[in-house]
Structure 1
Amino acid sequence: MGLGSADAYISMVSGLVGAVIGGWCTLNGATKAHGLALKKEEAADRERMITTLMLLRTEIVGSWELFHEECGDELLGQTEGTPFLSILPIGANPFPIFDSGPAALNLVPRELAKNIVHFYMRAKGLIAAIEMNNRDYDQALQHARLRLLTQAERAHQAGDEVSDETHDEVFNYSVAFMAGQLGMGDTADSIRSLTQELAPIVQRITEEVDKLFTPDLEHNRVS
């Protein structure tokens, strides 16, 4: 049986070599395309992480500064056990960025992510304490107004008038009395304690975020 001509073998070998080369080129092209896709995905993930962290930093620092402007400094200046006789309005959703559950948070470095979660857990506890203080102070005010009304009715029946000094004395005493009954001093101590705990956490977050993105900011400035 004939083994075929040399040309046939050459043609067959050439075909095999061509197929191997073609397959290698296809595989190499697919590998490069996959690598480029991974790089694009990594770049997109980093962009999402940067955007998320900058938004969270803005929310954290902004809410912290606002808290101190409205009551934080006054609270910390009070002695232990002193009720905080003021109402601090709290919005329905004070942390919209964090509560939106940004998926990019899982891309954040572990320690930074822990600090961010720690901040929001304690901050929400702080808000709950402030809301309790608001309700209690409102109740203390209602009690004081009722006492004033009773005082005015008695004075009217006796043909007397309530002086401004007596008015203020009755009002302030009634508020202080009800604040004590409601344990507002303990609530204020809780707010002060959480405020002191949060201060270094806020500082760590801002420093870590700024340090993490300083190269990016410098690069963008140069570009």
Structure 2
Amino acid sequence: MFEYGKGLILVPEDTPYIIMLPIGDNTFPIYDSAPPCLASVDPAISAKIVRIYMRIKGLITMIKLNNADCQTAYNAGRYAVQNLIGKAISDGQAIDEDGARRINEYHDFYIEQEAKQLGMGGTANGLKFMTSELGELLVSIQQDIDKLTSSPYQVKTLYRH
């Protein structure tokens, strides 16, 4: 939620989320090296950990798709503006402050239209759904862990012997 969720949730249904989110290639080095440890965790909690992991992997794939579509939309907007400015220069037209403002508006409008053509609204809907689902899963697993760790005896039951 801190990184992108709050802004994403405010985006209206089917509206593109035209924001690039930096994300690395190896986002789970600890989890990827620890699957054997899941065998010693309570099966219900282990299942939730795996579910969260799978959903986050899907979320990362969607973020990368959104980033690629953003880059495509930004490139299209830049190209359209370059063409517009090139035409103005070749026609001998000066671009004043009002013209620059209108070019910026054209740029932003063009990016939004390109994002719609790329179907980024559907991607945003998926990102919102997965973000909400992950929030619910994290609350649920935190409650399970809190129950198991609320007394010294119960800590032992978190791990199977």
| TM-score of the alignment, normalized to the shorter chain, above 0.5 | yes
Residue 131 (str. 1) matches residue 64 (str. 2):
yes
Shift of 1:167: 1.5
Q: Distance in 2 between matches of 1:69 and 1:188?
A: 17
How many angstroms apart in 1 are the aligned matches of 2:94 and 2:2? 40
Residues 133 and 184, structure 1, Cα contact 8 Å, conserved in 2: yes
Compare 81-90 and 163-172 and name the one that shifted more: 163-172
Query: 2: distance between equivalents of 1:119 and 1:128?
Result: 14
Aligned-pair CA distance for 1:126: 0.7
CA deviation after TM superposition for structure 1 residue 216, in Å:
4.0
Q: Report what 1:83 is aligned to.
A: 16
Residue of structure 2 aligned with 1:166, choices 102, 107, 110: 102
SS in structure 1 at match of 2:150: helix
Q: Select the structure of larger CA radius of gyration.
A: 1
Percent identical residues: 34
1:1-223 matched pairs, under 5 angstroms: 68-162=1-95, 163-216=99-152
Q: Distance in 1 between matches of 2:152 and 2:77?
A: 58
Normalised by the size of structure 1, how large is the TM-score?
0.64
The equivalent residue for 1:18 is: none
Number of residue pairs matched by the alignment: 151
In structure 1, what is the Cα distance between the partners aligned to 2:63 and 2:17? 10
Partner Cα separation in structure 2 for residue 135 and residue 70 of structure 1: 18
Cα distance, 1:213 vs structure 2: 2.3
Q: Return the offset for 1:103.
A: 1.5
What is the distance in 1 between the residues matched to 2:108 and 2:12? Answer: 19
Structure 1 residue 205: Cα displacement: 1.3
CA RMSD of aligned residues (A): 1.6
Structure 1: 5+ residue stretches without partners? 1-67
Query: Structure 2 unaligned runs (5+)?
Result: 156-161
Larger relative contact order (Cα-Cα within 8 Å, sequence gap ≥ 6): 2
Structure in which a larger fraction of residues adopt helix: 1
Letter of the 1:137 counterpart: C
Question: What is the alpha-carbon distance in structure 2 between the residues aligned to residue 216 and residue 94 of structure 1?
Answer: 33
